[in-house]
Structure 1
Amino acid sequence: MPAIEPAAKLALQRHYVAARADRPVALSGRLDDPQWGGAGWSDEFVDILGSHAPKPRFRTRMKMMWDDEHLYIGAELEEPHVWATLTEHDSVIFHDNDFEVFVDPDGDCQLYGELEINALNTTWDLLLVKPYRAGGPAINGWEIKGLRTAVHVDGTLNDPTDTDRGWSVEIAIPWASLSEIAHRNLPPKAGDFLRINFSRVQWEHEIVDGKYRKVPGRPEDNWVWSPQGVVDMHRPERWGWVHFSSSASEPPREPATLFEVYEAQRLFRGHHGHWSSREEELGLAPIPGLRIETTASFLELSLGDWRLDHDSRLWRVS
């Protein structure tokens, strides 16, 4: 099992307050619509493992806005050599350098969408019924209906003879499409949260016969907005939060605590073949209000009005 940062770091997931757009945002890839002026830049992306890993070589940051029709995402990727090869929709885009969006519209860590885009504006959208560790599967035929994207290259694409400044991306995701995978009302209202994360896959390259080529045998870099603590973007409980309000209130803490217990339960079950009903067996300090229910094949964790089960499905009891 890959090493994971301490689960307490889950409580430090990044948080972004999205501005509301006054009108639909025009997409050019340049983030030059005046509406973006009201949206602040995110923190710069870090290595997927967290702050203890090497700092990314190039800066990546994003913005978000929203209105009643769309979630808008803008990203700026510093890159001295912008290159891409894939042109067919639903190709495995991370085989190129790319920008990725992961969104769980109801925050239950099940049934979430993934979107990848390269510098040629080629996209791949897919649906995860549940995380791969819980059995997946991924549905490649799923489409984000009404999706709009635009890319701008600040330099020259696929030209290794010069130095570029980077590339930028604009994305408009219709709420109507996300409603198909959400057990909640969309668009959101002021004060709502949405679980989301962003990733940038970056390959080291060399120039052979006047063309870019990935350095053989080198793994990709994974730079993300909210660190995962493990090289796996499919840990939605470790994603960040976007808050649809002008106030900077904090996201709920109970889900992070429940996932800390869940990670300990998975380790315990891997060693003993069954779930534990006692916190002390899991090596955790007492958690006031935590309730654990187990059978041979069933696990449910409760804290306050939040619930988490053996499939890592999170929900809130109203």
Structure 2
Amino acid sequence: MTKSLLVTGGAGYIGSHTLLELLKAGYKPVVFDNFSNSCAEVLSRVEELSGCAIDVIEGDIRDKSALVRLFEARRLANEPVEAVVHFAALKAVGESVEKPTEYYDNNVGGTLSLLKAMDTCGIRKLVFSSSATVYGEPLRLPYTEDHPFAPTNPYGHTKAMVEQILKDWCHASDERSAVALRYFNPIGAHPSGRIGEAPQGRPNNLFPFITQVAVGKRDKLSVFGDDYETVDGTGVRDYLHVVDLAIGHVLAVAYMASGNRGFQGINLGTGRGTSVLELARTFERVTGRPVPYEILPRRPGDIAQAWADPTVAAALLGWRANRDIEEMCIDGWRWQSQNPDGYQSVVKK
């Protein structure tokens, strides 16, 4: 079994939860992060929860020489990195429209730099944090892995481009393997309440907006459109507990370590959709906190419904989503209520 791993972007929301699950599974991850959208405090909390010390190197994935030095140092220490779990990316859809070159430079250019460093040091396994945004407007639902790619924004295009790069990278050598995990809408937090999603500035996603309204940081939730052809007119998405998602990454590492080669794209989702208002009302019911909202016009580019077919994940990884919407809301509220300012209160001290 692969034991020593590099986790790029390991201090981020999904990265930190995956880091904890990797440690629980007996792996020895090294974190490589530039902390552009995260802070070091989360890693201290992962150490606290796991009881394990974490090696952390601050750096940018576009710096190939830094990555090569890291890989070589681990080899000389008789702890060679055998696989990479790659989270490091810019991830805000709206910002990607405003700053496309930054997104292509970091997300695509950074991945190319990482792969070149891996090639230099003979590392042949990579799990990629992809996204359901690669699919775009659904031709059919649920999304299966063979659904055509048609991203509608630069962020989605960067994910699709990296997947193509990984396909070509694997095709060039039968010793290489890459798994692209296309996940839908991760929400919630670790049940301890010690780590969770801490967006900087205005949240880009629905759930942290809900929790910030509930904790009093925002007056009301903005609901964009109530005239879709859905159960209540609001958009429907496949919400997934972040711990289930993290476990999916652990299983993907094991899948490659068991001898599977080549490229494989895999959906991670629950297989069912939940509307914006259903999520808000479930949150109110299980937490007792009101979530006032206002209806605004639809946003350009938003789709009515999206959810995954997780059959391939079950077949190849033995993975299923085990936590329901209620648990997502309870865990997410525990995090937000205990950390109303995210990690910032700790950083300010």
TM-score by length of 1: 0.28
Structure number with the higher strand fraction is: 1
Higher helix share: 2
TM-score normalised by L of structure 2: 0.26
